[in-house]
Amino acid sequence: MATEEKLTPEEEPDATGGPQTDAQQTGTGTTDAPAGDSGDLQALLTDARSKADEHWEQCLRLQAELENLRKRSERDLVQAHKFALEKFAAELLPVRDSLEMGVAAAAEESASVAHLREGSELTLKLLTSALEKFNIQEINPLNEKFNPEYHEAMSMQERADVPPNTVVTVVQKGYLLNDRLIRPAMVIVSRAAAQPAGGQLNEQA
């Protein structure tokens, strides 16, 4: 009678009829890997969402700051335009006060030409001082060479005592603001005197 050979556990067939593999015997395999990768991806996604939310909040704060800066700049610009002449106006007020006092003095019976002249000179000094404080310079080109950049000729006058194109009369002074022309000087300019016809004949003879 033949003896039956006993198979070792490694050689016993599994439910499918084949021998068991090492992975089946140990109960481990590749099925645990996808679970680990899924956890890592979830962690990365959570971190990315957190950073995105943080960046979005920073963007909103920056946008709000820029909007506040724009509104503040517009407000400052409006105020600057509105009160740009505040200091200049304050300097002109004493001039007005002096003019009012001069008008009141002229209405008095005891008013004299000398007092009126003195008051007018004081007012002119106040006005000149106010203009100088804001770098407003006058253009008074009497006896200077005509300069079309700063002078405007109203007429020409024959003059033998001065060179041609010389300013002989200043009808109205000009003014500069920070070296920029705001009004040209209105002037009368000299021109060469015409020679008499007889003098020309004598020279030709």
**Domains, the chain, with CATH or none:** 135-193 (2.30.22.10)
Sign of CA dihedral 7, 9, 10, 11: positive
Count Cβ atoms within 10 A of the Cβ of residue 175 and give its class: 0-12 exposed, 13-18 middle, 19 or more buried: middle
Residue 34 pLDDT: 56
In the block, residue with structure tokens 């680990």:
36
pLDDT per position as a tens digit, 7-32: 555 555 554 555 555 545 544 444 45
Find how far residue 31's CA is from the centre of its chain: 69
Count Cβ atoms within 10 A of the Cβ of residue 152 and give its class: 0-12 exposed, 13-18 middle, 19 or more buried: middle
More confident residue, 190 or 1: 190
Give the whole-angstrom CA distance, residue 116 versus residue 125: 14
Helix axes 113-133, 86-106, angle to 10 degrees: 180
**Top-confidence range, 24-33, 66-75, 138-147:** 138-147
Residue 23 pLDDT: 47
pTM reported for the whole predicted model: 0.59
Rg over CA atoms, the chain:
51
